[in-house]
Chain A
Amino acid sequence: EIVMTQSPATLSVSPGERATLSCRASQSVSSNLAWYQQKPGQAPRLLIYGASTRATGIPARFSGSGSGTEFTLTISSLQSEDFAVYYCQQYNNWYTFGQGTKLEIK
């Protein structure tokens, strides 16, 4: 099983600032990586697939990068609605998710 490790567990950032979230795979997943946003009581929402392609309707302030085992999700200027939990997911070998990063208001 490919283990996905996200860091940090919690990230405190002020609105308008940049947030950088990391995801590491225990073995290479090529670019077969997605990012999701989840708010309390809601299903996850797809943000990024293919490591760097924004899903339909996702604002340009969300960007993804990386390949192999190291990936980053960057939110360029945080809006109030961006504070949530973010998960990475690999689909190179079945599907596994990271444990999540909680993005909270500083």
Chain B
Amino acid sequence: QVQLQESGPGLVKPSQTLSLTCTVSGGSISSGSYYWSWIRQPAGKGLEWIGRIYTSGSTNYNPSLKSRVTISVDTSKNQFSLKLSSVTAADTAVYYCARAPLGIGDFDYWGQGTLVTVSS
């Protein structure tokens, strides 16, 4: 059974960089059969896809966030990471990592989510 687990600081100051890591267990991130994504959800609101990475390191980002987002992968640790720069209060949200099978596009496994608050 695949499991994803987000980790990182729960509080980030405005204008700084938010950094989160997703650790995958129960399966290899290098299997080549999946895209690995970050998705966020402000309190009481809907879901927003941030971006994705493939095992090769190839990335795609939501155009609305592209200028501030970097997603990377560390296959040796079975992890992928998110960096979001120049954060504001509008970036306060629960951040999820999730897996999407190649060629389908639905998110079949999700992490439990981690709340990141942007505040001074």
Residues of A within 8 A of B (CB): 1, 32, 34, 36, 42-46, 49-50, 55, 87, 89, 91-92, 94-100
If A91-B105, A97-B46 are given as contacts, then 16 extra A-B residue pairs at C-beta distance below 8 Å, sorted by A number, are A1-B63, A34-B105, A42-B112, A43-B96, A43-B98, A43-B113, A44-B47, A44-B107, A45-B110, A46-B106, A46-B108, A49-B108, A89-B106, A89-B107, A91-B100, A92-B105
Residue of A nearest to B64 (CB): A1
User: Roughly how many angstroms separate A99 CA and B47 CA in the complex, as a whole number?
Assistant: 8
Q: B104 touching A49 by the CB < 8 A rule?
A: yes
Name the contact of A87 in the complex, choosing from B47, B60, B96, B108 (C-beta under 8 A): B47
Q: How large is the interface on B (under 10, 10 to 19, 20 to 34, 35 or more residues)?
A: 20 to 34
| 10 A/B residue pairs, CB under 8 Å, sorted by A | A1-B63, A1-B64, A34-B105, A34-B106, A36-B107, A43-B112, A44-B110, A50-B106, A91-B105, A97-B48
B residues lining the A interface (CB < 8 Å): 37, 45-49, 60, 62-64, 96, 98, 100, 104-108, 110-113
Q: Give which listed residue, B96, B108, B111, B112, contacts A55 with CB less than 8 A.
A: B108
Question: Given A94-B60, A97-B48, are A50 and B107 neighbors across the interface (CB < 8 Å)?
Answer: no
Given that A91-B100, A94-B60 are contacting pairs, would A34 and B46 also be in contact in the complex, using a CB cutoff of 8 Å?
no
Say yes or no: B100 contacts A43, CB within 8 Å: no
**In the complex, A50 Cα to B101 Cα: how many Å?**
12
